[in-house]
C-alpha cells in the first residue's frame, strides 16, 4: 500500500504569538499506510488523524480568554485545514487510482 506522510506545522502552546509565522514551524506527519482509503470507515479514521494533526499544529486554546489570541489560534487552524485539504484529496485520489489499477489488472 502506498505510504505517504502529510505534513502540518507544529507549534508548542508556550510559544509567543509572533512565532505563529509558518516558516518557523517544524512538521507533524500523519501516516495512513495502514488504512485502505477506498473504505469509508478508513477515510473517517484518516480524517480524525488529520483533525488531530491540525489541532496539534497550532497553539492550544485551552483556558484562554484573550480574544486576540483566540482569533490567532482560529486563524492558524483554518489555514492548516486549508493546506491539509489539498493533500487529503491527493491521498484519496491516489487510493482510488491504485484500487482501479488493481481491479483492471485482474
pLDDT digits (tens, 9 = 90+) for 44-59: 999 999 999 998 888 8
pLDDT digits (tens, 9 = 90+) for 8-54: 333 233 333 444 444 455 467 889 999 999 999 999 999 999 999 99
Three-class SS state of 106: coil
Shortest CA distance to 8 belongs to which of 90, 78, 93? 78
Shortest CA distance to 11 belongs to which of 59, 48, 66, 62? 59
Residue 69 has pLDDT above 80, yes or no: yes
Tell me the domain boundaries of the chain: 5-10+21-105
Q: How far is CA 23 from CA 11, 68, 72, 90, in A?
A: 11, 21, 16, 23
Amino acid at each position: 500500500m502506498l505510504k505517504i506522510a502529510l505534513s502540518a506545522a507544529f507549534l508548542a502552546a508556550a510559544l509567543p504569538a509572533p512565532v505563529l509565522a509558518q516558516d518557523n514551524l517544524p512538521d507533524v506527519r500523519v501516516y495512513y499506510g495502514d488504512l485502505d482509503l477506498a473504505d469509508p470507515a478508513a477515510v473517517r479514521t484518516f480524517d480524525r488523524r488529520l483533525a488531530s494533526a491540525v489541532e496539534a499544529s497550532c497553539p492550544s486554546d485551552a483556558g484562554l480568554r484573550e480574544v486576540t489570541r483566540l482569533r490567532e489560534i482560529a486563524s492558524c487552524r483554518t489555514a492548516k485545514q486549508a493546506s491539509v485539504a489539498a493533500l487529503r484529496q491527493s491521498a484519496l485520489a491516489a487510493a482510488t487510482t491504485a484500487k482501479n489499477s488493481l481491479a483492471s489488472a485482474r
